[in-house]
Structure 1
Amino acid sequence: MRGALSTVWFDRWKISDDCPEHSETIDSMCRVLTDLIDDEVKNGISKNRIILGGFSMGGGMAMHLAYRCHRDVAGVFALSSFLNKTSAVYQALQKNESVLPELFQCHGTADELVPHSWGEETNNMLKSLGVTTSFHSFPNLNHELHKIELEKLSSWIVKKLPMETAVSNK
């Protein structure tokens, strides 16, 4: 945004995968979002029926939230997203011995804001740390969403969260 301030999930020193994360604002947002998840659970939604995800910074936030705080959710999606090379997510997963939520990730090959290679490196690092991942590249797609990408995401969500059947007491 050429230096203009904007509302975002967390602060960044710069849009780069090789600078430190702004951990104070990431951790603060994790606490806010945890309160929202806790409210859903109190209202009867099982954690294994919750998928966290987002586009761009929203996907990065979802990965922080799921892999650092809520490893018992059904899954995570990240569209045109990345984690910094020294992310707290990677550090948290190095000590992991539990089953982790599956990651569904998409990225455009022509993304000029978040290069495709950053998304791919994030996916490879998470895979090396025990996350089951899928990574879908979209040729000529910039930092934007595409119908085919959203259709793939929708299919993945339906597979992860099939319709619950009502149990009758007959």
Structure 2
Amino acid sequence: MSQIVKLVASKQPATHALIFLHGLGDSGHGWSFLGQHLQAMDPIAFQSTTFIFPTAPTIGITANGGHPMNAWFDLMEWDPEMRQFDNAGYLKTLNSVVKDYVKHAMDEGIPAENIILGGFSQGAAIALGSAISLPWKLGGFISLSGFISCHKELFVKLDKDLHNKDTPIFHGHGDADPVVAVSRGMGSLDWIIGTYGFQKAEFHTYKGLQHSADEQELRDVYQFVKKCWNL
């Protein structure tokens, strides 16, 4: 497993876990504020929650002239519609890395239904794909400024049983995002709903927000997590 920033539950043993994957060029530390933010908003509700922020491996990024960056898969070009997709790298992360993180949390005694998997940008793309591919039913999925490759053949090699068809999915996206177009995010969520029949996927648009998160989106994430876990 790669380097991980972990905010350990203040009340042990931990009963819940939120695993969150960063975007291109970032690290687990870059999103660890999310755990701190949720804990500050409601210390009692999240006292038994462990927050896990992994760091992606360093690979050469095609869109960046081959310069190495932390990434869950390669970025082929700087295109807000993400028309080119690194299928091999994406599948590698889905098939091994993410499963390892979830399985590790389960091995530490946290039930699958008490685990939420989320991510930002590239990390969100992995979270959305995991909703299709994971062999366990989780408590929820969070996609912030995310996207997915809308080609069903990409997923035929993954787990054939859809375990998370009725698992809640939250997708938040700024309508001024210059990196991943809001239309790409909306189209991605529409595609997984239409193709796989997800029943509890919701899309939230944030006016004026670029490729980042703002206070309103974080409040909505907070409400989503509490609802998933009935906190």
Give 1:66 deviation, angstroms.
2.6
Letter in 2 for 1:45: I
Give 1:17 deviation, angstroms.
3.1
Give 1:80 deviation, angstroms.
0.4
Rounded to whole Å, the distance in 2 between the matches of 1:99 and 1:57 is 20
Matched, 1:56 2:124: no
Give 1:69 deviation, angstroms.
2.0
TM-score (normalizing by structure 2): 0.63
Matched, 1:148 2:213: no
Rounded to whole Å, the distance in 1 between the matches of 2:127 and 2:222 is 17
TM-score (normalizing by structure 1): 0.83
Q: Which runs of 5+ in 2 are unaligned?
A: 1-24, 26-62
Q: Secondary structure at the match of 1:6?
A: strand
Letter in 2 for 1:12: L
Paired residue for 2:146?
81
Paired residue for 1:69?
134
Aligned pair partner of 1:102 in 120, 145, 168: 168
Q: Secondary structure at the match of 2:149?
A: coil
Rounded to whole Å, the distance in 2 between the matches of 1:133 and 1:154 is 16
Deviates more, 1:140-149 or 1:64-73: 64-73
Report the identity percentage: 24
Asked if the contact 1:68/1:92 (under 8 Å) is kept, the reply is no
Where does structure 1 differ by over 4 angstroms across 4 or more consecutive aligned residues?
95-99
More strand by share: 2
Rounded to whole Å, the distance in 2 between the matches of 1:135 and 1:46 is 27
Rounded to whole Å, the distance in 1 between the matches of 2:128 and 2:191 is 12
**CA RMSD, Structure 1 to Structure 2 (Å):** 2.3
Give 1:50 deviation, angstroms.
0.6
Give 1:105 deviation, angstroms.
0.3
Cα displacement string for residues 44-66 of structure 1 (whole angstroms, at most 9, x for unaligned residues): 10001111111111110111223
